Amino acid sequence: MRLVRVTGSVLAVFFCVMQAVGQESAKPAADPLFQFQEVMIPMRDGVHLQTVILTPAHADKPLPILFRRTPYGVPEKAPNEMPPSWKELAEDGYIFVIQNLRGRFKSEGYFKLSSRVDLHDPKATNETTDAYDSIEWLVKNVGNNNGKVGMYGVSYDGLTTALALLNPHPALKAISEQASPVDQWMNDDFHRYGALRESYAIEYAVMEQADKNTNTHFEFETYDTFDWYLNLGPLSRVNDKYLHGKIPAWNEAVEHPDYDEYWKNEAWVRQLHASTVPNLNVAGFWDQEDPWGPWQIFRHAAEHDPSATNFIVAGPWFHGQWQTQKGESIGMIPFGGHETAREFREKIEAPFFRYYLHGSGEKPAWQASTFQAGSNTWHTYASWPPKEAMLKSLYFHSDGTLSFTAPAKAGKEASYREYVSDPANPVPYRTRPISPTYPGGDWRTWEVADQRFTEHRPDVLAYVSAPLDRDLVITGAVSAELFASTSGTDSDFVVKLIDVFPENYQKPDWDPDMGPKPGQFAQSLNGYELPVAMEVRRGRYLQGFETAHALTSNQPAKWDIPLRDHDYVFLKGHRIMVQIQSTWFPVIDRNPQRFVPSIYKALATDFRAATQRVYSSPERPSHVNLPVMP
């Protein structure tokens, strides 16, 4: 494998976000849209940050500043056409400012790929202080600004936006953090409750730390990265064969396998306990990178929110999809004619900033707004989760069925189902071949992929309900309580909550004699198995995240598996399925299934097959908890 350096401006709130600020139009606009200025803004420690200022060419009054801070590169010139994601905002009038983080591209200093903020150290510099110092400079030096600043951004740009909450400048009047990570060990980007997101972590760390002047992609020796990661073997070989100790983020992850002070200090949200600036949090229910962070920021800010300035918006989106042009579907799943991305920007994002930065319009009258998949309708809630949602348990049964009736005594039937998990033959997380994470666009929608490709594997258990006799609306936090055992001394369990579409759900939209035309679906949604929620738990952390403990072989244990927040309708006639497995490769690294102090240092001989059992009995009633709306 070698590294491919991708040079030039990579504008993106993230790679999936279609903000084409730096793209050249085939036909230049007759009149310039913006006046372009590039400056180097000084920070308190003398470091200067590369910053681009785009002022509307025909502004006739002072305007607020919309500020975005990114590691991905700033535009090299003003756009010839209005970027689709700016259209609704630009109609109100803003001075757009984009800044490279310290240590990226022309910005001075060292890029740490870190969200550490020490509020008690007056000499410290970090993304919080850099945002403060930059805003201080902007309001004093950018001509024709009205003294009000807003910040927004997706993913890493959302993180730098959110970090401004910890010590906001007085001129910062509104922010919209969108898909910001908050805890890289617990449930964002690099890990899922301590289980390493192997393919993402390695590829992303290299992308941002291989070269300060570029965004660097892997070039794999084989297109199917499933094979590449399997042939790599134990994680101890990553540095030996490829990275050679040159990627700090990877080295630090290897040195800190457990949830120690390193990761707790990285988890900046632990310092947030109030709504310090009006904040429009934005989350995607099928965000394959940062599905957890916005909800945690929202909940931490809600601890003290007397002025009701803490809001959240969520929809059926992949990472940053709400900043694409339309957002009328995700993968093969349509949204009933709604252009959810445009609707979000037009009806929620633009009015939010208009109210707080222009002083016109109305404050949001809700705390949470969602686009509910299944019903394909927008909803608002006075509080989240809505108080009327009631938890109901959907139980696993040993005959492979699901129901809201708890298991009874099984008589002669076994009270469990079992399978053999073999790390040498792991379950792929999506259909093969699995292309590289970056820059491949197909990775963005894997969380809505049809799960029939795993259902009949011998190392996957499937539990299925009868067809629903009415719509089932779930709104709030979903979770699973699994009673399971392993013949090994460490193990993973993955839980997938799936909506099974009826076999007669959709008629083909093409002539059966001629086949599909370009643009028509070659595959229908008949029998489609749509994942609604999926998560993994690693057995070594059942007793606590700070210290790893071996499991007792063949001893049943309770596995609490959070499945995050959702707003979804299982429609009448659909069935509910739960799939259980113990590998999810290579999005999650392989558990050796033999306890070792650190999986990063496991040997090839540590990886062993194990027999896994999932119990369904009155004493051990495995189930999923659903927040059901009346």
- The model's pLDDT over 85-109, given as tens digits with 9 standing for 90+, comes to 999 999 999 999 999 999 999 999 9
d(CA 166, CA 161): 10
Residue 315 phi/psi, 5-degree rounding, is -150, 175
Helix, strand, or coil (residue 195): strand
d(CA 437, CA 443): 6
d(CA 589, CA 263): 19
CA-closest candidate to residue 447, choices 559, 551, 587: 587
Q: Per DSSP, what are the bridge partners of residue 47?
A: none
pTM over 0.85: yes
Look at residue 87 in the predicted model and tell me its pLDDT.
Answer: 95
* CB atoms near residue 362 (< 10 Å): 8
Domains, in order of start, for the chain = 2-185+265-381 (3.40.50.1820), 390-507+520-628 (2.60.120.260)
Residue 19 banded pLDDT, cuts 50, 70, 90: very low
CA-closest candidate to residue 270, choices 185, 373, 343, 365: 185
Look at residue 24 in the predicted model and tell me its pLDDT.
Answer: 39
Residue 18 banded pLDDT, cuts 50, 70, 90: very low
CA-closest candidate to residue 435, choices 629, 237, 273, 586: 586
Residues whose CB falls within 8 Å of the CB of residue 523, separated by 6 or more in sequence, listed in order: 332
d(CA 617, CA 265): 42
Among 239-248, 583-592, 595-604, which stretch is predicted with the lowest mean pLDDT?
239-248
Average the pLDDT over 590-616 and give the result. 98
Contact 562, 169 (CB under 8 A): no
**Is the confidence at residue 10, as pLDDT, over 70?**
no
CA-closest candidate to residue 496, choices 545, 527, 443, 452: 452
Contact 288, 438 (CB under 8 A): no
